[in-house]
Amino acid sequence: MLQLIILMGQPQPGANPIMQFLPLIAIVVVFYFFMIRPQMKKTKDQKKYIEALKKGDKILTIGGIYGKIHELKEDGSIIMEIEDGSKMRISKNAVSMDASGTLNQNP
């Protein structure tokens, strides 16, 4: 049984070793272009958005809280004002996305 396994793993005479690795290389390339690259782009865009935040921007936190930036602190935190006028202190990293379109709608 062990001999059979060893013989199956050996390359066939005349077979190109590059052709044996071609499917593996293709899988890695597809994985990179469909999974890794878009995620890196999304992370880069999110970081750029967070760095560009300013007072008065309307935001949505990762916890689902809508609010408006009242003040930016030097330590990387934000004082956020929510609808009823109360204020919350959150981390800049807790900002998910821009919420200008959602907060401008009146129900």
pLDDT at 58 over 60: yes
Residues 58 and 71 in one domain: yes
Q: What is the CATH number for 72?
A: 2.30.30.140
Residues 61 and 83 in one domain: yes
How many Å apart are CA 14 and CA 35, to the nearest integer? 36
Complete DSSP assignment for 11-27: PPTT--HHHHHHHHHHH
Give the pLDDT confidence of 12-41 residue by residue, as tens digits.
Answer: 666 677 777 888 999 999 999 999 999 999
Domain that holds residue 86: 54-103
Residues 60 and 99 in one domain: yes
State residue 7's pLDDT score: 54
Domain count within the chain:
2
pTM of the model: 0.64
State residue 21's pLDDT score: 84
How many Å apart are CA 56 and CA 70, to the nearest integer? 6
Establish if 13 belongs to a structural domain: no
